[in-house]
Amino acid sequence: GQQLNQSPQSMFIQEGEDVSMNCTSSSIFNTWLWYKQDPGEGPVLLIALYKAGELTSNGRLTAQFGITRKDSFLNISASIPSDVGIYFCAGQREGAQKLVFGQGTRLTINP
Amino acid sequence: NAGVTQTPKFRILKIGQSMTLQCTQDMNHNYMYWYRQDPGMGLKLIYYSVGAGITDKGEVPNGYNVSRSTTEDFPLRLELAAPSQTSVYFCASSLKWGVVAGGYTFGSGTRLTVV
């Protein structure tokens, strides 16, 4: 099955920095979701996007549904230690039913 | 609400042993899924179910079996454990195909090591 191409695979940043990550596909998607996985836990939904061009925020997190419908972006502003974890994108391809997941971006923050 | 509950959290198996990973949800979701998570590889779908009595294979079903006798429970069975099955296993559920109501709800995972 196809997986999304998520980048970067890992990030090492200083506390207070902004973070950007993205997810791309060769197929058109109808829905994009962003999840966060804390160490030792399952993924938890952060933001859901349902329309091309949509920009949605959840606190310091902002995600966008790309205009081409083949990509999505997640930004975290002013990172704090509790932002550490693995961030996954997920999407529903046009004409498909099940979600497909990206490989994840592991975020590490130096205090 | 408890959401999705997985047991056990950790398990070490010897090659050739069998075990069942338990998953139960209390949200009355019809759709349930089993994923495995390998380092750097994201989530791969093993099996899924769209309702009681209905199951289907995902991307990586070999070496696993599932059953869905009730809406709440979706156990995953490993019959002959192999080192390649060392992974973290996540159960998830959703109201529909994961689009409506914001996607899947995940359990906290079972970390399995086969030695």
Given an 8 Å threshold on Cβ–Cβ distance, is B43 in contact with A88? yes
Q: How confident is the model over B73-79, as a mean pLDDT?
A: 96
Give chain A's mean pLDDT. 92
Is the predicted pLDDT of residue A93 greater than 90, yes or no? Answer: no
- Which pLDDT score, from 0 to 100, does residue B2 have? 77
Indicate the helix (H) or strand (E) that contains B95. none
> In which order are the strands placed within the sheet that holds B76-78?
B4-7, B19-25, B76-78, B64-66
User: By three-state DSSP, how is residue A46 classified?
Assistant: strand
Question: Which residues on chain B are in Cβ contact (under 8 Å) with A97?
Answer: 97
Is the predicted pLDDT of residue B18 greater than 90, yes or no? Answer: yes
Give chain B's mean pLDDT. 92
Provide, rounded to the nearest whole percent, the portion of chain A with pLDDT above 70.
Answer: 97
User: By three-state DSSP, how is residue A9 classified?
Assistant: coil
Is the predicted pLDDT of residue B99 greater than 70, yes or no? Answer: no
Q: What is the pLDDT of residues A8-65, one digit of tens each?
A: 999 999 999 999 999 999 999 999 999 999 988 999 999 999 999 999 999 999 999 9
- Identify the closest residue of chain B to A38 by CA–CA distance: B108
Banded model confidence at residue A82, pLDDT cuts 50, 70, 90 = very high
Q: How confident is the model over B30-56, as a mean pLDDT?
A: 91
Residue B97: closest CA among B2, B39, B30 = B30
Q: What is the pLDDT of residues B2-15, one digit of tens each?
A: 799 999 999 999 99
- Which pLDDT score, from 0 to 100, does residue B22 have? 98
- Which pLDDT score, from 0 to 100, does residue A43 have? 93
Burial of B62 by CB count in 10 Å (0-12 exposed, 13-18 middle, 19+ buried)?
Answer: exposed
Q: How many CB atoms lie within 10 A of CB B69?
A: 10
Is the predicted pLDDT of residue B101 greater than 60, yes or no? Answer: no
Whole-angstrom distance, CA of residue B109 vs CA of residue B87: 10
Residue pointed to by tokens 């999705």: B4
Is the predicted pLDDT of residue B51 greater than 80, yes or no? Answer: yes
Given an 8 Å threshold on Cβ–Cβ distance, is A42 in contact with B102? no
Question: Which residues on chain A are in Cβ contact (under 8 Å) with B41?
Answer: 103
Q: Is the Cβ of B10 closer than 8 Å to some Cβ of chain A?
A: no
Which of A69-83, B35-49, B63-77 has the weakest average pLDDT?
Answer: B35-49
Q: How far is CA B1 from each of CA A3, A34, B105, B109, rounded to the nearest angstrom?
A: 31, 23, 12, 18
Assess contact for A41 and A31: CB atoms under 8 A.
no
Given an 8 Å threshold on Cβ–Cβ distance, is A101 in contact with B103? no
Phi-psi domain of A71 (left: phi exceeds 0; alpha: psi -120 through 50; beta: other): beta
Question: Which residues on chain B are in Cβ contact (under 8 Å) with A6?
Answer: 42
- Identify the closest residue of chain B to A87 by CA–CA distance: B42
Whole-angstrom distance, CA of residue A62 vs CA of residue B10: 34
The CA-to-CA distance between both ends of chain A, in Å, stands at 39
- Which pLDDT score, from 0 to 100, does residue A62 have? 98
Q: What are phi and psi of A45, to 5 degrees?
A: -65, 135
Of A9, A31, A42, the CB nearest to B109: A42
- Which pLDDT score, from 0 to 100, does residue A39 have? 87
Is the predicted pLDDT of residue B100 greater than 60, yes or no? Answer: no
Banded model confidence at residue B98, pLDDT cuts 50, 70, 90 = low
Given an 8 Å threshold on Cβ–Cβ distance, is A104 in contact with B102? no
Of A9, A33, A104, the CB nearest to B103: A33
- Which pLDDT score, from 0 to 100, does residue B14 have? 97
The DSSP-derived string for A82-98 is GG-EEEEEEEEETT--S
